Amino acid sequence: MTHPSSGSAGRRPRVALIGAGAIGMAVASGLLRAGRAVVVCGGHAPIHRIEVTEHGTTSAWAVEHTDDPTTLGDVDTAIVAVKAQQTDSAADWLRAVARPQVTVLVAQNGVEQRERVAPYLGQPGAGASPTDAPQVVPAIVYLNVERLAPGRARVNHVGDVDLAFPVGEAVRELADELTHGGLRVRLEDDFAAAAWRKLLTNISANPLTALTGRRAEVLHEPAIRQAAGQLMAEAVTVAQAAGIHLTHADATAALDWLATIPGDATTSMLSDRLAARPLEYDALTGAVVRTAARVGVEVPANKLMLALLSALPSGEGPHRR
């Protein structure tokens, strides 16, 4: 099923998609279904069509493409879906949308989404009101998405929610649009706790698969499960010291969830390592280590994990067996 772009004169402002990878396409598809026009910002090759397959059905939409940040003057929403370690490469696009009344949805892993984009979006000057700066909306992404080719993705809806946002008026409007577009959105009263709960699985499954070069089956081995539990337990202690409402029951639940992942499933960090792409460890394990230093908590397992990940050869994947 092909849908034309809804971006013609006199219609609602466009949505800027900064990072047209798997997650970016999945989130954009919700706004496209809701009738919004999307402009893809930069990238290695122009994308003029987004095609998403879910539940066995493929839908496609015409989209615009631009390599010029100055063309984003009428944008009122931006989806930032580059990986955390690629945020600096999107600096020009972020500066281009750093205007009042623009909602910037940060669909990245970790617990530092706002802090990561803040240097590029600027801050209101003295005496200015919050309306003088863009509204930054951090997101927790639960979608399982596979990029098939440029402009093409397969979306799997896992669990009972696709995206989670913090509660807020500006967020409500965006959440309503995405819900209308078929995505399951939850507004979290305690967004920080929800983000740290998601972080528990990310600091264990991602590094352990990337370092071993093995898929999720490695997480089912007793010694690896024990290592994952230690990483999570340290993170819970850090979160509690930082005033985040997390408990060791959250770590147990996350550990049990890892055991349910099919053995042939992969992780984004393993995929990136095999493809010799930069890894996202600083936004995940790095966030735990930084917060631990700030609150005075020792995290030896996470420090070791960070050291091992940062020592991996750059631009080189492990040998395949």
For Cα atoms 242, 246, 249, give the angle at the middle one, nearest 5 degrees: 145
The whole-number pLDDT of residue 5 equals: 54
Q: What is the pLDDT of residue 131?
A: 56
Cβ within 8 Å of residue 8, ≥6 positions away? 37
Contacting residues for 293 by C-beta, under 8 A, at least 6 apart? none
Q: Confidence class of residue 1 from pLDDT cuts 50, 70 and 90? A: low
3-state SS assignment for residue 272 = helix
pLDDT > 70? residue 88: yes
Tokens 């929610």, residue located: 161
Output the pLDDT for position 7: 43
> So what's the pLDDT on residue 44?
85
H/E stretch holding 195: helix 191-212
CB 140 within 8 A of CB 109: no
Amino acid identity for residue 85 in this structure: Q
Global confidence as pTM: 0.88
Which residue in the list 36, 65, 152, 198 is annotated as catalytic? Answer: 198
Known active-site residue 198 = yes
- 313 pLDDT band, cuts 50/70/90, is confident
Give the DSSP letter string of 39-81: EEE--SS---EEEEEETTEEEEEE-EEES-GGG-TT--EEEE-
Bridge pairing between strands 49-54 and 57-62:
antiparallel
Position 278 pLDDT exceeds 60: yes
181-234 pLDDT tens trace: 999 999 999 999 999 999 999 999 999 999 999 999 999 999 999 999 999 999
